[in-house]
Amino acid sequence: MSIFGKKNPAEKAPPVKKSVLREWIDAIVFAVVVATLFRWFFVEPFTIPSPSMENSLLTGDYLFVSKLHYGARTPKTPLQIPLAANKIWGTEIPSFLDFIQLPQFRLPGFSEVKRGDAVVFNYPPEVKNPVDMRTYYIKRCVGLPGEEIAMINQQVLINGQPIPLPEKALTSYLVESKEELSPRILQGFGIPSYCYTLRATGEAIINTDSATIAEIKKAPYINAVTKQVYLKNSDPQGRFFGDVDGFTNVMLPNYDWTFDNFGPLRIPKKGETWPVDAPGLQFYEHVIRHYEGNEKVELKGGKLFVDGNEISSYTFKQDYYFMMGDNRHNSADSRFWGFVPADHILGKALFVWMSINPEPTEEQGRFRWNRMFSGVK
């Protein structure tokens, strides 16, 4: 104050103290912003919702997914609810608005996608949503860009050479028994309900690994165990590239391939140029249509038109990957809906930080303590 009772302009008014509510709001907003940025560029949590990766990853596993390995993607859809997936929690309401779409870039990473990596990615056939707002899937990378993949009686071949199964991979067996195979008996072998189907008395289709089957064979009431393999021209349940999200046999409409016997099939690679009359190029039309950023793609009379122009060859704009689940007969993967484009890849599964058993027993309770903070192989 001056001596005349007037306020001195140089003097500052005392700061207004925030209310408790305002302090809480500021703290929450700050935490959400930090968590969102951390989730976008560093690490994101992910939950295993299905048995497609058993026994490597179990239903109820909670993972951290590293975005630093392959390089984080910049957001393509800026108008979205922070920390939500593609739907508002507990509803079917989209958690985003897609009328603003930004160019998407990938920041430098310290690794590339390698064969055998457990990779989290956006589900490619969900073309109604922007790339970064498609449902998250997790599968194991089996085929890399530019490689030729085939499968003969469940044995995967890359460029004609066999590659080993994942250590804990599952497949299905027909088990015939002298007595009824009850859920209690199968649970005693560590087989959850979502990994078997009880048939007529004394029969069951079981998805499990070779070690568990060896134990089952020792049981005195077992008559026979037969590994299930879908041959070509077999039951349409084993059909390679099925009816998924509007893609009905999208890549191979006239082939008799199954998900145990198929190929050879070449995986597109960025920069590769294929002539339109190359064997099989025409069934890559949906790749060129949906994942390459072309405005209009048509296949008419065996001729391919891109943006209204007939083309004699096509150069792919990005890399593609062939992904498969470790639970080979209970996994919707690249055998059903095709390749995974590079821009759909989110990150690499790092480790399990929590695991909740959906079917707790007396021997194994609600929490799988032995899986907590275990690495993903």
Strand-pair partners of 170: 327
* 8 Å CB contact between 206 and 228: no
d(CA 115, CA 70): 13
For residues 83 and 97, the answer to whether their CB atoms sit within 8 Å is: no
222-227: strand order across its sheet: 196-198, 203-208, 171-177, 222-227
Ramachandran angles phi, psi of 32, nearest 5°: -65, -40
State whether the Cα torsion 129-132-135-141 is positive or negative. Answer: positive
CA 249 to chain centre: 20
Pick the catalytic residue: 52, 56, 172, 331? 52
Buried b (16+ CB within 10 A) or exposed e, 297-315: beeeeeebebeeeeeeebe
Residues 305 and 312 sit within 8 Å (Cβ to Cβ): no
| Amino acid (one-letter) located at 126 | E
- Confirm whether 139 is a catalytic residue: yes
| Contact of 146 with 272, CB cutoff 8 Å | yes
Is the distance from CB of 132 to CB of 84 less than 8 angstroms?
A: no
Assess whether 52 carries a catalytic annotation.
yes
**DSSP bridge pairs for 158:** 149, 161
Q: Which residues contact 242 (CB under 8 A, 6 or more apart)?
A: 248, 249, 336, 337
Phi-psi label, residue 158: left if phi above 0, alpha if psi -120 to 50, beta otherwise: beta
Choosing from 139, 172, 334, 348, which is the catalytic residue? Answer: 139
Enter the tokens of residue 101. 């779409």
Active site (catalytic) residues: 52, 139
